[in-house]
Amino acid sequence: AISTPSTCNIQHGPGLRHRFTGPSALYLKAQGRQLSSGVLPQSSASALMDTDTCTRRPLLCTSAPKSVQAVGKPSTPGLPSPGLAQASAALSQEHGQEALQEEPGPPGCETVIDRRDKLKKLSNAEILRAIIGNLWPDTWAHRVRVLTAIFLVIFGRFLHICIPFCLKTALDTIAGRPLRPAPYGLWHVPIVANHGIVPVILMYGLTRLGYTICSEIKEFVLAPVTHDVMQKTGTKVFQHLLEMDNRVKCHREPGGTAMMMEKGYQGLHVMHSGVLFNLMPTIAELFYVGYLMSYQLGGTFATVGAAVATSYTLWTVKMTKEKSKHRKKGNAIDRKSSGKVIDSLLNYDAVKYFQNEKYEVKQYNDLQTSRSDSAYLQSKASALLKMGQASVYTTALTISLMMSAAEVARGNLSIGDVVLVNQMIFQLAKPLSSLGTAFNSIAGAVTDVEKMFSLLKVQPSIKDAPNARNLRFTGGRIDFNNVCLHDEETGQRILDNVSFTIEPGSTVAIVGPSGCGKSTLMRCLYRFAQPKTGQILIDGQDIEYTKLKSLRQCIAVVPQEPSLFNDTIWYNIHYGNMAATHEDVENAAKAAAIHDTILKMPAGYNTFVGETDGNLSTGERQRLAIARTLLKPAPILILDEATSALDTTTEAQVLQALKRVTADTTCLIVAHRLSNIKMADRILVLGPHGQVQEQGTHAHLMKLKGAYYSMWKEQEKSEGTKIAADKPFYSS
């Protein structure tokens, strides 16, 4: 589809548009979508490009709408439109294989406008609020579990601290040394020791066992709470994703969004167990160990302990930050990488048509190189972290052993005390190292959770107005009054002062050149788009002030690009009305002239179909979409080129059945084949800039000898005498 001889726009989703200049003039729109999937090993990428279409199926694990759609329809109806991949590939041939990239723009690219709504960064206070809000459960059953787990953690840590002291006391008892008063909290140890060596050794063993049992019980007591938090948050985010506008970036990049959500859940888990049950108890244990050392061994040992703790923590924090920086970069590359695989597979045919396998593999390979660079830097930071920790710890152990040996020689400390020092340093290292791990994983988790919560911050631009009322449907009169819509970034006019009326139960057809705004007009009625000025009324009520739910209940739509779920045919049709019976589904399929075709399939209605499944023809997919829409009990029907891929006979069958089923329905039909809409009550001709050029009945428009007349004659010429002989299928 050619716009001007010297410019070429390519839009990747409504968000990303590339304007190319050059001798070749193409005006294309494409909606590129990615799927969620795991990342494939690098060697698999080229292997995948060499496989045939069937082998791709198992990899495409979630449903996704068609990846590409061309704005410009070919002038011959029925011909498939080239999509972004084809356009991109075609352009890459012309522009010396240049890539269609977001950053930097390709040569010849004047402007790159990203119209997708970006995710906003959360403030620290918002992150904290979100995290705390998710840590404390909202039911008492779960609160009791959390409190039990907290008790088990505290008691377990207490037992943990008892272990070295029990050992020291046992050794001193064996050596027959008099026992000194025990430090705060450990009074029971000398009392037991006074009853002999066996009780104190038994206490040592039981304390060790008790510590392990407390840790393990805590895990399963807490598990339902953690999973409940994850489940509730996940559902909330998913629900929110479905409420957002279609233009948000995360809708265009489902692969990345699914990964973001998955990492967010894991992050919540880490935070839940990390902050409440690791970080806080570890800090408390550190303080207690410090107190124990100074009480039992004196200020010098405590100072060594404090120096160890401080240098260990500082090093851990520094290197963890470094690691987390590379982790963030790694995550971004992971998302791009999985997106690349999915995009190439969805555009498999285009890759093959233009023999760009090597180019695709190179792009993937470049991402893998960045990924391995990032993995290298992460491993380096991790190694430095562990080496630093080990150096601090070993130095402290050596110094303290030397100090305690000197004290033993002076008679100030016993062998039991030397063991205690040794154990304490170990004891100190354990929480310090878990503090490092906790800090590390919590830092990563905060990043992941922040990303997930940032999804919740994106608000839909089209929502119920304050004081919106339910739509009261009294017949289905629709009025478009001076409706205007502009592209906010480019200022391009999409709909220009459109005014027309549809009487209840009548049929209005909308025709016009490709890209003139026909689909947008329909989207405005369904409130997928919001006019800048003007009004759309249904039965006298401005739809801007009616509740979205009540409005959308009244309108059934067969979109221009129907998408199917990766499920059975039955599931896909039944989706139109969850209350429909098996018979209803079959009747809808019959009306859409797809029932017989389905029965011929190996598994009939249980045949598995999906968006990327090549087993259905475009016409079959369109008929499935029609059947699905027929199940929705709505008094207004929108058909946006719903039968464009069907042959004339099937189209006649479908349209006649539709007319029968929708006898009292107010219909809006977008069509390119004028013969189909000849008998509509009113035909609206849109001009190239979204303005109403003409409107009236077929006979009236033919008399005018204007745009409609020219289009009719044009089609007659291209289809010979066929059009004149055509029976008008859709008539009132």
Ligand X SMILES: Nc1ncnc2c1ncn2[C@@H]1O[C@H](COP(=O)(O)OP(=O)(O)OP(=O)(O)O)[C@@H](O)[C@H]1O
Query: Which does residue 234 bind out of ligand X, Mg ion, none, counting CB within 5 to 8 angstroms by kind?
Result: none
Residues that contact ligand X, how many (by CB under 6 A) = 15
Is 441 near Mg ion (CB under 5 A)? no
What is d(CA 253, CA 16) in angstroms, rounded to the nearest whole number? 12
Nearer of residues 93 and 530 to ligand X, judged by Cβ: 530
The dihedrals phi and psi of 262, each to the nearest 5 degrees, come to: -60, -45
Task: Indicate which single residue of 83, 256, 339, 517 sits in contact with ligand X (rule: CB under 6 A).
Answer: 517
Binding residue (CB under 5 A) for Mg ion from 519, 546, 612, 643:
519
- Tokens linked to 532: 């800048």
Asked if 515 touches ligand X (CB under 6 A), the answer is yes
Q: How far is CA 280 from CA 160, 554, 634, in A?
A: 15, 55, 57
Element spanning 309, H or E: helix 299-346
The entry of Mg ion, ligand X, none that residue 516 binds, CB within 5 to 8 Å by partner kind: ligand X
Task: Give the nearest distance from C-beta 330 to Mg ion in angstroms.
Answer: 41
Distance, CA of 129 to CA of 474 (rounded, Å): 47
Is residue 67 within the footprint of Mg ion (CB under 5 A)? Answer: no
Site for ligand X in 645-674 (CB under 6 A): none
By the rule CB under 6 A, 516 interacts with ligand X: yes
Binding mask 465-504 for Mg ion (x = CB under 5 A): ----------------------------------------
Instruction: State how far the Cα of 485 lies from the Cα of 517, in Å rounded to an integer.
Output: 10
Residue 396, Cβ neighbours under 10 Å: how many? 20
- Residue 29 binds what, of ligand X, Mg ion, none (CB under 5 to 8 Å, by partner type)? ligand X
Q: What are the beta bridge partners of residue 602?
A: none
CA–CA distance, 92 with 109 (Å, rounded to integer): 13
Phi (first) and psi of residue 101, to 5 degrees: -120, 155
Q: Which residues pair with 557 in a beta bridge?
A: 638
| Residue 96 beta carbon to Mg ion: minimum distance, rounded to whole angstroms | 33
Stretch binding Mg ion (CB under 5 A), from 213-221, 301-309, 519-527, 717-725: 519-527
- Select from 225, 249, 578, 274 the least CA-distant residue to 442: 274
* Shorter beta-carbon distance to Mg ion: residue 91 or 522: 522
- Interface map 179-198 toward ligand X (x if CB under 6 A): --------------------
The answer to the question of residue 263 lying near ligand X (CB under 6 A) is no
Q: Which residues contact 334 (CB under 8 A, 6 or more apart)?
A: 39, 259, 371
Residues paired with residue 29 on neighbouring β-strands, in sequence order: 11
DSSP 324-340: HHHHHHHHHHHHHHHHH
By CB under 6 A, name the one of 19, 157, 335, 518 that touches ligand X. 518
CB of 478 vs ligand X, minimal distance in Å: 18
In the complex, the smallest distance separating the C-beta of residue 640 from Mg ion, rounded to whole angstroms, is: 6
585 binds ligand X (CB under 6 A): no
Q: Does 519 bind ligand X (CB under 6 A)?
A: yes
List binders of ligand X among 535-574 (CB under 6 A).
560
Give the nearer residue to Mg ion in terms of CB position, either 73 or 272. Answer: 73
How far is residue 719 from each of residues 80, 361, 650, 712, measured CA to CA in Å?
A: 17, 43, 18, 10
DSSP state of 22: S
Tell me the C-alpha distance between 57 and 47, whole Å.
Answer: 14
**CB of 218 or CB of 672, closer to ligand X:** 672
Residues whose CB falls within 8 Å of the CB of residue 40, separated by 6 or more in sequence, listed in order: 48, 59, 341
Task: Work out how close the CB of 694 gets to Mg ion at its nearest, in angstroms, rounded to a whole number.
Answer: 19
Q: Which residues pair with 636 in a beta bridge?
A: 555, 666
Report the nearest approach of ligand X to the CB of residue 83 (Å).
Answer: 12
Q: Compute the distance between CA of residue 663 and CA of residue 653 in angstroms, rounded to an integer.
A: 15
Please report whether residue 560 would count as binding Mg ion according to CB under 5 A: yes
Assess 644 for contact with Mg ion (CB under 5 A).
no
> Of 365 and 492, which CB lies nearer to ligand X in the complex structure?
492
For ligand X, the closer of residues 33 and 73 by Cβ is: 73
Residues 191-250 that bind Mg ion (CB under 5 A): none
643 lines the binding site for Mg ion (CB under 5 A):
no
User: From the list 520, 546, 653, 693, which residue makes contact with ligand X (rule: CB under 6 A)?
Assistant: 520
Question: In the 8-state DSSP scheme, what is residue 55?
Answer: G
If one asks whether residue 650 binds Mg ion (CB under 5 A), the answer comes out as no
14 touches, from Mg ion, ligand X, none (C-beta below 5 to 8 Å by class): ligand X
Distance spanning both ends of the chain, measured CA to CA: 33
- Buried (b) or exposed (e) across 355-376, using 16+ Cβ within 10 A? ebbebbbebbeebbeebeebee
What torsion, rounded to 10 degrees, do the Cα atoms 660, 661, 663, 664 define?
Answer: 180
Whole-angstrom distance, CA of residue 25 vs CA of residue 91: 10
Q: Which is nearer to ligand X, 597 or 693 (CB)?
A: 693
Nearer to Mg ion, 518 or 678 (CB): 518
Closest to 34 measured CA to CA, from 258, 197, 272, 302: 258
Does residue 520 bind Mg ion (CB under 5 A)? no
Nearer to Mg ion, 519 or 629 (CB): 519
According to DSSP, the residues that pair with 541 across neighbouring strands are: 538
Pick between residue 278 and residue 519 the one whose CB is nearest to Mg ion.
519
Of residues 656, 658, 732, 662, the one with CA closest to residue 697: 732
The amino acid sitting at 287 is: F
Q: Measured from the CB of residue 508, what is the shortest distance to ligand X in angstroms? A: 15
Partner whose footprint covers residue 517, from ligand X, Mg ion, none (CB < 5 to 8 Å by kind) = ligand X
Which one of 137-145, 269-277, 378-386, 511-519 is the stretch in contact with ligand X (CB under 6 A)?
Answer: 511-519
Write out the DSSP string of 480-524: EEEEEEE-TTT--EEEEEEEEEE-TT-EEEEE-STTSSHHHHHHH
285 Cβ contact list (under 8 Å, min separation 6): 157, 160, 161, 431
Rounded to the nearest whole angstrom, what is the least distance from the CB of residue 561 to ligand X in the complex?
9
Residue 427's nearest CA partner among 396, 383, 388 is 396
Q: Of these, 73, 527, 623, 673, which contacts ligand X (CB under 6 A)? A: 73
State how far the Cα of 335 lies from the Cα of 374, in Å rounded to an integer: 14
Told to check if 327 binds ligand X by CB under 6 A, we report: no
The minimum distance between CB 669 and ligand X, in angstroms, equals 13
Q: Is 665 in the site for Mg ion (CB under 5 A)?
A: no
Contact (CB, 8 A) for 547 and 554 = no
Closest distance of CB 682 from ligand X, Å: 18
Closer CB to Mg ion, 251 or 518, in the complex: 518
Q: How far is the CB of 525 from ligand X (least distance, A)?
A: 12
Select 76 or 467, whichever has its Cβ closest to Mg ion. 76
Q: Does 378 bind Mg ion (CB under 5 A)?
A: no
Residues that bind Mg ion (CB under 5 A): 518-519, 560
Residues that bind ligand X (CB under 6 A): 14, 29, 71, 73, 487, 494, 514-520, 529, 560
